């Protein structure tokens, strides 16, 4: 019986800590001035097909229904919690643009957020990261900046991995504040 009580007590405190952590994150986002990195929602597969063309979404990996639902859930999180957004920037890849569209309706593309996973884009990595850092250095808002991008960009900018649809919040110095998985 003591063991059962101990287990329930542990579960209660873990739940309480998680709820408290989410509340702290939401309050931090309401303060504004945060960078919100979002890895594109679920798009089955890995990398891009051989015939990949940036201007042709039919040649790319795109969101499936799970990814569309995940994107809508991301948008709902921001709406429900009344988190102010300065702007939404997206990679030019269709799966990122779809994530931004379903989550936030409007967005702008920003090539510094493009993937450099594929060998044909790897040469762009240094320039893209420098352009991203330069943009963020000059960005000044009391609202939050949404960056919808890819695993490789998040990994390079924040030195962490990310799952599809994951939200990673950082300050302007790329110090991670918290993370939210949206699966």
Residue spans of the domains in the chain: they are 32-180
- The CA–CA distances, whole Å, from 16 to 11, 96, 118, 166 equal 9, 34, 42, 22
Confidence (pLDDT) at 69: 97
Q: What is the pLDDT of residue 82?
A: 96
- pLDDT for 1: 54
pLDDT at 22: 80
At residue 108, what are phi and psi to the nearest 5 degrees?
Answer: -120, 150
DSSP-derived secondary structure letter, 50: T
Task: Dump pLDDT digits (tens) for 26-81.
Answer: 999 999 999 999 999 999 988 888 888 999 999 999 999 999 999 999 999 999 99
Dist. CA 110–CA 28, nearest whole Å: 25
Of 3.40.430.10, 3.40.50.1240, 3.40.50.1370, 3.30.1490.110, which CATH number belongs to 32-180?
A: 3.40.50.1240
Number of DSSP helices (H) and strands (E) in the chain, helices first: 5, 6
Residue 152 scores a pLDDT above 90:
yes
pLDDT tens digit sequence for 83-124: 999 999 999 999 999 999 999 999 999 999 999 998 888 999
User: Cα separation of 34 and 122, whole Å?
Assistant: 28
Q: How many CA atoms lie within 13 A of 1 on its CB side?
A: 0
């Amino acid at each position: 019986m003591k063991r059962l009580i101990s287990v329930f007590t542990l579960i209660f405190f873990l739940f309480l800590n998680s709820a408290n952590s989410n509340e702290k994150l939401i309050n931090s986002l309401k303060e504004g001035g945060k960078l919100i990195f979002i890895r594109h929602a679920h798009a089955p597969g890995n990398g891009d097909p051989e015939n990949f063309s940036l201007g042709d979404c039919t040649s790319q990996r795109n969101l499936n229904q799970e990814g569309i639902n995940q994107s809508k859930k991301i948008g709902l999180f921001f709406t429900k919690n009344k988190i102010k957004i300065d702007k939404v920037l997206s990679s030019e890849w269709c799966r990122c643009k779809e994530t931004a569209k379903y989550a936030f309706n409007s967005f702008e593309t920003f090539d510094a957020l493009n993937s450099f996973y594929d060998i044909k884009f790897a040469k762009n990595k240094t320039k893209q990261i420098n352009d991203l850092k330069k943009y963020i250095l000059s960005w000044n808002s009391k609202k939050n900046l949404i960056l919808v991008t890819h695993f490789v960009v998040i990994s390079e900018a924040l030195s962490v991995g990310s799952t599809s649809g994951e939200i990673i919040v950082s300050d302007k110095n790329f110090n991670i504040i918290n993370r939210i998985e949206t699966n």
